[in-house]
Chain A
Amino acid sequence: MGLIDRRMGIFLAGLFILTVAIPVGNLLIDGKPVPSYLVSLFGKYLCYALLAVALDLVWGYCGILSLGHGAFFALGGYAMGMHLMRQIGDRGVYANPDLPDFMVFLNYSELPWFWHGFDMFWFACLMVMLVPGLLAFVFGWFAFRSRVTGVYLSIITQAMTYALMLAFFRNEMGFGGNNGLTDFKDVLGFNLQSDSTRAGLFILSAIALAAGLLIAKAITNSKLGKILIAIRDSESRTRFLGYRVEEYKLFVFVVSAMMAGVAGALYTPQVGIINPGEFSPANSIEIVIWVALGGRGTLVGAAIGAFLVALTKTLLTGWLPEAWLFALGALFIFVTLFMPTGVLGVIESTLRRKPAPKPTQEASV
Chain B
Amino acid sequence: MTHLRSYLFTVLTCVAGLLATMATAQDFDALVASLPDGNFDDRAAVVGQIAASGDDRAVGLLEALSDGELQVLKSDGRLVIVTDVKGVDIAADALTGAEAGVVPRRGASAIRVNNSLRRTIGAAIGILTLSSPDPARRLTAAEAAFRAPDPDQLDLLQTAILDETDPRVSAALKSAIAATTLAGDSTVADKLAAIAILKTQANQAALGILTPLVAAPDAQIAAAAADAVDQIERTQKLWSGAQNVLFGISLGSVLLLAAIGLAITFGVMGVINMAHGELVMIGAYTTFAVQEVIRNSFPFLFDWSLLIAAPLAFLMAGAVGVAIERGCVRFLYGRPLETLLATWGVSLILQQTVRSIFGPNNREVGNPSWMSGAFDIGHLTITYNRLWIFVFALAVFAILLFVMKKTPIGLQMRAVTQNRAMAASMGIRTGWVDAMTFGLGAGIAGLAGVALSQIDNVSPNLGQSYIVDSFMVVVFGGAGNIWGTLAGAFSIGIANKFLEPYSGAVLAKIIVLVCIILFIQKRPRGLFAVKGRAVDG
- Seen from chain A, the residues whose Cβ lies within 8 Å of a Cβ on chain B are 65, 142-143, 145-152, 154-156, 158-160, 162-163, 166-167, 169-170, 281-282, 285, 288-289, 292-293, 322-323, 325-326, 328-333, 335-337, 340, 359, 362-365
- Seen from chain B, the residues whose Cβ lies within 8 Å of a Cβ on chain A are 266, 270, 272, 274, 328, 331-332, 334-338, 340-342, 344-349, 351-353, 356, 464, 467-468, 471-472, 475, 479, 506-507, 509-510, 513-514, 516-518, 520-522, 524-526, 535-537
| Chain B residues, Cβ within 8 Å of A156 | 475, 516-517, 520
Closest to B518 in A: A142
Indicate if the CB atoms of A323 and B342 lie closer than 8 Å: no
Whole-angstrom CA separation of A151 from B270 in the bound complex: 9
Indicate if the CB atoms of A150 and B535 lie closer than 8 Å: yes
Rounded to whole Å, the gap between the CB of A147 and the closest CB of chain B is 6
Rounded to whole Å, the gap between the CB of B335 and the closest CB of chain A is 5
Q: A166-B506, A329-B349, A336-B345 are in contact. Are A155 and B471 (CB under 8 A)?
A: yes
| Chain A residues, Cβ within 8 Å of B464 | 282
Q: Could you list 27 A-B pairs, sorted by A, with CB under 8 Å?
A: A65-B337, A142-B521, A146-B522, A146-B524, A148-B521, A148-B524, A151-B270, A151-B336, A151-B475, A154-B272, A155-B472, A156-B475, A156-B517, A166-B513, A170-B506, A170-B507, A281-B468, A285-B274, A285-B340, A325-B352, A326-B352, A329-B346, A329-B349, A336-B328, A336-B341, A336-B345, A362-B334
| Chain B residues, Cβ within 8 Å of A337 | 328, 331-332, 342
Indicate if the CB atoms of B513 and A162 lie closer than 8 Å: yes
Question: B348: which of A150, A166, A325, A363 is its contact (CB, 8 Å)?
Answer: A325
| Chain A residues, Cβ within 8 Å of B518 | 142
Indicate if the CB atoms of B341 and A332 lie closer than 8 Å: yes
Closest to B335 in A: A362
Indicate if the CB atoms of B344 and A163 lie closer than 8 Å: no
Indicate if the CB atoms of B338 and A336 lie closer than 8 Å: yes
Whole-angstrom CA separation of A159 from B518 in the bound complex: 11
| Chain A residues, Cβ within 8 Å of B525 | 152
Closest to A335 in B: B341
Whole-angstrom CA separation of A323 from B340 in the bound complex: 22
| Chain B residues, Cβ within 8 Å of A333 | 328, 342, 345-346, 349
| Chain A residues, Cβ within 8 Å of B510 | 163, 166-167
| Chain B residues, Cβ within 8 Å of A329 | 344-349, 352
Q: Can you add 6 more A-B contacts, CB < 8 Å, to A156-B516, A160-B517, A289-B341?
A: A156-B475, A285-B274, A292-B341, A340-B338, A362-B335, A363-B334
Indicate if the CB atoms of B341 and A159 lie closer than 8 Å: no
Whole-angstrom CA separation of A162 from B466 in the bound complex: 13
Question: B345: which of A145, A331, A340 is its contact (CB, 8 Å)?
Answer: A331
Question: A288: which of B331, B341, B347 is its contact (CB, 8 Å)?
Answer: B341
| Chain A residues, Cβ within 8 Å of B479 | 151-152
Indicate if the CB atoms of B342 and A332 lie closer than 8 Å: yes
| Chain B residues, Cβ within 8 Å of A285 | 274, 340, 344
Whole-angstrom CA separation of A149 from B535 in the bound complex: 11
Indicate if the CB atoms of B335 and A332 lie closer than 8 Å: no
Indicate if the CB atoms of B509 and A340 lie closer than 8 Å: no
Q: A159-B513, A337-B328 are in contact. Are A150 and B536 (CB under 8 A)?
A: yes
| Chain A residues, Cβ within 8 Å of B507 | 170
| Chain A residues, Cβ within 8 Å of B348 | 325-326, 328-329, 332
Whole-angstrom CA separation of A323 from B355 in the bound complex: 10
| Chain A residues, Cβ within 8 Å of B521 | 142-143, 145-146, 148
Indicate if the CB atoms of B536 and A325 lie closer than 8 Å: no
Indicate if the CB atoms of A332 and B506 lie closer than 8 Å: no
Rounded to whole Å, the gap between the CB of B57 and the closest CB of chain A is 54
Indicate if the CB atoms of A152 and B475 lie closer than 8 Å: yes
Indicate if the CB atoms of B536 and A169 lie closer than 8 Å: no
| Chain A residues, Cβ within 8 Å of B467 | 281
| Chain A residues, Cβ within 8 Å of B270 | 151
| Chain A residues, Cβ within 8 Å of B472 | 155, 159
Indicate if the CB atoms of A152 and B513 lie closer than 8 Å: no
Whole-angstrom CA separation of A155 from B336 in the bound complex: 14
